[in-house]
Amino acid sequence: MTSFDLVEPRSLEEAFRYLDPSDPAIRPFGGGTALMLMIKAQMYKPQRLVSLGRLGGRFSGISFDANACRIGAMTRFATLEHSPEIAARLPVITEAMKTLANVRVRNVATVGGNLGHADPHLDLPPIWLVLDAKVTVVNRGGERVLPVADIFSGYYETTLGNDELIAEVEVPVRQGWRSKYVKVTTRATHDWPALGLAISVQIDGHLIKDLRIVLSAAVDFPRRLLGAEAVLRGAAIDEPLLQRAGEAAAEEADMESDSRGTGDYKRHLLRAHLRRAVLALAAE
Amino acid sequence: MNYAYSVHMAVLKVDSEIGAVAVERYLVAFDVGRAVNPRPIKGQIVRGFAQGLGGALMEEFLYDAHGELLSVTFADFLMPTASDVPTIDVLITEDAPSPCNPLGIKGAGEASITGVGAAIASAIDDAISEPGAVMQLPVTRKRLKKFFAADSQERLASVTLLNGPDERRLSQKVDSVPIAT
Ligand SMILES: Cc1cc2nc3c(=O)[nH]c(=O)nc-3n(C[C@H](O)[C@H](O)[C@H](O)COP(=O)(O)OP(=O)(O)OC[C@H]3O[C@@H](n4cnc5c(N)ncnc54)[C@H](O)[C@@H]3O)c2cc1C
């Protein structure tokens, strides 16, 4: 491991002085759990890491109003995990924490670093997508707000400039919607998922009024399964419907073979888990 | 010369739609000759089971076509963690103390590992009603999936594997332990 500078700016102005739009050896530093692995594996050789730990302000804390939850980018996973408000109003996040990494990682990994890493296997991004969350990104010129989905542009690739910072995530809290995330591991519980499946539904008895379905891990970046959504939207749940939705999902998802399963097996898993998840949500 | 021996019983569920195995109950009965300190012996047996379970369902050295090892990190070589290992029943017996030492003690570790693969494999055979189906460990999803066509039922298996010299006596011992089969 080669040496590098770690700076800890206390204001955004100071942070932007350290960041550089064009030098990839300078990066923002959240919890460092992803960066440190890449540094140790010599995949990344930084010259300067700009810690966001002392920025405070909108980068930190969780707050709720009537219709939304705001989560600062420097919020640690452990904070999300133990927040009673998150458990009450966005329980899908609390549930996901049960099988996300381990207590040491959750104590330091941050919401912003998780998005900035853009590894398609991560558990939170599909959940943000299915909840229709937005991020606020700050840069020298000001800020922009975009849907979480628009951060990702490829496998470990984002649309963020090298000197842009994710400041906060805003998650709508919608009455009458229920969500579920299924981390489909095929080898061991702590393995990276073969696929991640997030579903949010507005359901009335057996009638699906509206829904969102997001697939992750088996694809380059999390994406909605619009075909399967269209099959299910406005329909009453029964076996043939779930079969058709599964077929639509398997058809639209382009999944490659890897050590966690062949493309065919992943399509099979997608059909099976989509069906089970919809039934589970309907039974809740 | 003396022999430590163990009995393994597995109750597991095979989810044939996705090719997954969930171990629901497991018993290791182990004759250790004389249990000088039962607590660490039990701990050793439980941990031995965990190691055996890894070998039965997960742990595998994979090589590519050129003989290059692919399972080089713990992200590729999967071992069971607490989330994968069920609470098991342990029965320590002292039926056949060793005549070779003054305490009568025998081995109390290895046989908690070695039976697991066979017990799990046999339980899977039983669950899918195909004796001798599993011929290779670990029984990964990929391997298990091959046994199923469009079948999507969950089937429950309970199977007993006796791994010791005196089948009758050992199974009687097992009867005295509350284990649902
Ligand atoms: C042992 C282990 C197990 C794990 N298991 C799981 C798991 O089960 N499920 C799961 O989902 N994840 C898992 N992870 C991954 C973990 O979630 C990520 O490493 C973590 O979320 C990254 O967050 P961080 O704050 O540590 O990021 P950092 O390492 O600090 O940063 C990651 C990237 O984001 C950039 N960045 C950081 N903050 C910002 C910001 N505010 N704005 C813009 N860019 C930023 C950095 O420059 C870097 O490129 C695991 C990691 C480890 C080490």
Residue pointed to by tokens 């399972």: B71
Q: Identify the CA nearest to A139 among candidates A8, A15, A54.
A: A15
Q: Does B76 touch chain A (CB under 8 A)?
A: yes
Nearest chain A CA: its distance from B84 CA (Å): 6
Q: How many residues does chain B have?
A: 181
Is there a contact between B78 and A188 if contact means CB atoms under 8 Å apart?
A: yes
Q: Are B21 and B83 in contact (CB under 8 A)?
A: no
- What is residue A152's DSSP assignment? E
Which residues on adjacent β-strands are paired with residue A214? A198, A224
Start and end residues for every CATH 3.30.465.10 domain found in chain A: 57-172
Choice from A33, A47, A123 to test ligand 1 binding pocket (greatest atom count within 8 A of CB): A33
| Domain range A57-172, its CATH number among 3.40.50.300, 3.30.465.10, 3.30.70.890, 3.40.50.12160 | 3.30.465.10
pLDDT digits (tens, 9 = 90+) for A136-155: 999 999 999 999 999 999 99
- CB of A3 within 8 Å of a chain B CB? The answer is no
Q: Quote the CA–CA distance of A132 and B60 in Å, as a whole number.
A: 40
Task: Indicate the helix (H) or strand (E) that contains A274.
Answer: helix A263-283
ipTM over 0.90: no
Nearest CB partner across the interface for A186, out of B81, B84, B141: B141
Helix (H) or strand (E) holding A116: helix A111-117
Helices (H), A132-262: 226-232, 239-252
Rounded to the nearest angstrom, the distance between the alpha carbon of A165 and the centre of ligand 1 is: 14
Q: What pTM does this model have?
A: 0.90
Q: B76 CB contacts (<8 Å, ≥6 apart)?
A: A259, B62, B70
Residues A51 and A8 sit within 8 Å (Cβ to Cβ): yes
Six token digits for residue A250: 């398997």
CATH 3.30.43.10 holds for A5-51: yes
Q: How far apart are CA A197 and CA B132, in angstroms?
A: 35
Task: Kindly list the residues from chain A whose CB atom is less than 8 angstroms away from the CB atom of residue B152.
Answer: 272
**Per residue of chain B (181 residues), what is the pLDDT tens digit?**
788 899 999 999 988 888 889 999 999 999 999 999 999 999 999 999 999 999 999 999 999 999 999 999 998 999 999 889 999 999 999 999 999 999 999 999 899 999 999 999 999 999 888 888 999 999 998 888 878 754 434 333 333 333 333 333 222 222 223 333 3
Residue-level pLDDT at A100: 96
CATH class, range A177-283: alpha beta
Q: What is the pLDDT of residues A71-92, one digit of tens each?
A: 999 999 999 999 999 999 999 9
Say how many C-beta atoms besides its own lie within 10 A of residue B34's C-beta: 16
Q: Mean pLDDT across the stretch A149-174?
A: 97
CATH of domain B6-176: 3.30.365.10
Query: How far separated are the first and last CA of chain B, in Å rounded?
Result: 35
The span from the CA of A191 to the CA of A195, in Å, is: 11
Tokens representing A156 are 């470990």
Both tokens of residue B124?
A: 């899977």
Q: Please answer whether residues A95 and A181 qualify as being in contact, where contact means their C-beta atoms are separated by less than 8 angstroms.
A: yes
CA distances from B15 to A40, A223, A245, B38, B124 (A): 39, 28, 21, 36, 10
List, in order, residues 6 or more apart from A227 with CB less than 8 Å away.
Answer: A248, A249, A251, A252
Q: Which of A28, A25, A23 lies closest to A8 in space, CA to CA?
A: A28
* A215 conformational bin, left if phi > 0, alpha if psi -120 to 50, beta if neither: beta
pLDDT one-digit tens code per residue, A247-275: 999 999 999 899 899 999 999 999 999 99
How much is the CA Rg of chain A, to the nearest whole Å?
19
Q: A138 near A164, Cβ under 8 Å?
A: yes
Spans of all domains in chain B? 6-176
Nearest-CA residue for ligand 1 atom 19 is A34
> What number of other Cβ atoms are within 10 A of residue A228's Cβ?
27
Other CB atoms closer than 10 Å to residue A243's CB: what's the count? 13
